[in-house]
Structure formats: structure tokens, C-alpha cells
Amino acid sequence: MKYESIIAQITTQQIIAMFDLLSDLIFWIKDDTGRVIHCNQEFVRHVGRKSIGQVLGHSDLDFSPTYLARNFMMDDQRVMAGEIITERLELNIGRSGELAWFTTSKRPLKNAQGEIIGTYGVARNLKKTVKTLSGMEKIKKPVEYIKNNYVRNITIEELAEVASLSVSALERRFKKYLKKTPMQFLREIRLENSRRMLVETQMPVSEIAYSSGFASHSYFSRHFKAMFGFLPANYRAEVQLES
């Protein structure tokens, strides 16, 4: 058929180049050592470089503060082991140098034999996503409210009131635009902040749990491991070992 003939003529390079059409999407491909082997122009701009040539062959340590780079590299190792990461919230550096929230997805990169030879992924700035997607205005306020008050005991009813929506309507909009419920979003915000504190501070794990908004140390540890693959204390030890 005609469409099959057209598909057969499309090269991998052409497909990769299509990512440059998405100005709000950061896209990259890394080898098994964590070095960038391809990316789109938005990635180049995101890391403050002028050309793709200034990016290729470099790792996260060349673009981000050490604690963030170590987090990204540990995630890559988990993906290299076969894990997938989908629409996860994480802290990153915005284009102007400030810390910003991104939704990130990562997958293992495989060769023709099915062997994992690297990773690839995409990320979107959450603030830009909220501003640009039609219909997101109704969850802009609860998103900002969560980011500014995650340490508090926030209820779903409180978030619904902030958004001027019913609880069910709020949950539907979060699922539609962020692929998660409001309480899942809140938990991920707390977990990512706790991960930052584990690396940046020497605070006891229990204190970090409470400072991140978790009322229970065991609940915190269980969800931290589910999200990052390590218990909090083990994660801190692993990052220090890599430093």
C-alpha cells in the first residue's frame, strides 16, 4: 500500500528531527554512560548552550548542579535496568536558572537485538504546560497552591475550593491534563522535595519526612521507594557514594 511505502522511506533522523517542531518539549537520547548522543533544539536552549555540538558527548554533570545531576543519573540507571518513568514530577533548572517543576518520562533505548544500550526521554516545564494547554486554567490555582503549601495537611476539599470546582470535577481535570489525581500530584511534589533535602542537607530522614509534609515516616519511606527505587537512607548513601 502507498502509506507503507512512504513509512519505509522515513529515516530515523527524520523522525528525531520532528521533535524540533515542539517548542515546549525537551527531548534527549543518552548512551549507556549517560552522555547525550542526540537532543532537540529545546534541550540545547534549556541547558544554556548555543548549538547541539556543545551538548553532544556531555552528561548531566555538565549542565546541572551536582545534586540534580546525581538524581538524573540514578534515574537513568534504573531505566537502563528496564524500568520506565511516565509523567513524573521532578525539579530541574529553568531556562533563567531558577528551580522549576517538570513532568518527565524516560524509557530504555534498545538496539535491533533488543539489548538496552542507553535511555531516551522527554520533559515539559509544568508552568508552561499550565499556561499553554486549553482548559488548564481551572487547575492552575490548585497546582500553585500545592507547590506553595505542600508541607501542610492539604485536603482534596480544600483544593476543590481553591479551584472553585467540585471534588469530582477537579479530579477529572487533573487526570486529563496531568495524568494523575490531585493527591498523587501533592505526594509527588512532597517526594521530590524530600529527595532534594536528602542530598542537600544532613537532616535526619524522619525530620525530612515531616518537613516534606508526611505525617508518617513509614508511609514516606514506602512511597519514596516506590517512586525512586530506594529507601530514603539508602538513596542518600548511594548519592554520596557517587559523589
Determine the Cα–Cα distance for residues 10 and 39; give it in Å rounded to an integer.
19
Percentage of the chain with pLDDT > 90?
55
Task: Name the segment(s) of the chain with CATH classification 3.30.450.20.
Answer: 2-128
Arch. (CATH architecture) of 133-242: Orthogonal Bundle (1.10)
Q: Locate all alpha helices (DSSP H) within 23-65, ordered by sequence.
A: 41-46
How far, in Å, CA of 165 to CA of 159, rounded?
9
Indicate whether 10 pLDDT > 70.
no
Q: What is the pLDDT of residue 96?
A: 61
**CA dist., res. 1 & res. 193, Å (int):** 52
The CB density around residue 188, as the number of other CB atoms within 10 Å, is 22
Delimiting residues of CATH 1.10.10.60 domain(s) in the chain = 133-242
CA 78 to CA 37: how far, in whole Å? 19
Q: Is the pLDDT of residue 135 over 70?
A: no
What percent of the chain has pLDDT above 70?
88
E strands, 111-194, are 116-125
Lowest mean pLDDT among 37-51, 70-84, 130-144, 209-223: 130-144
Q: What is the CA radius of gyration of the chain?
A: 19
**212 touches 193 (CB < 8 A):** yes
Give CA–CA dist 48/66, Å, rounded.
16
- Helices (H) and strands (E) counted in the chain, each on its own, are 12, 5
What digits encode the pLDDT tens for the residues 68-103? 888 889 899 999 998 999 988 887 776 666 678 888
Question: What pLDDT does 85 receive?
Answer: 92
- pLDDT higher than threshold 70 for residue 6: no
To the nearest whole number, what is the mean pLDDT of the chain?
Answer: 86
| DSSP string for residues in 58-85 | --GGGTS-HHHHHHHHHHHHHHHTT--E
Percentage helix, strand, coil for the chain under 3-state DSSP, each rounded to 5: 55, 15, 30
Summarize pLDDT for 190-207 with one digit per residue, the tens: 999 999 899 889 999 999
Predicted pLDDT at 221 = 96
Q: Is the pLDDT score of 1 beyond 50?
A: no
Which top CATH class is 2-128?
alpha beta
Which residues are within 8 A (CB) of 7 and not within 5 positions of it... i.e. 6 or more apart? none
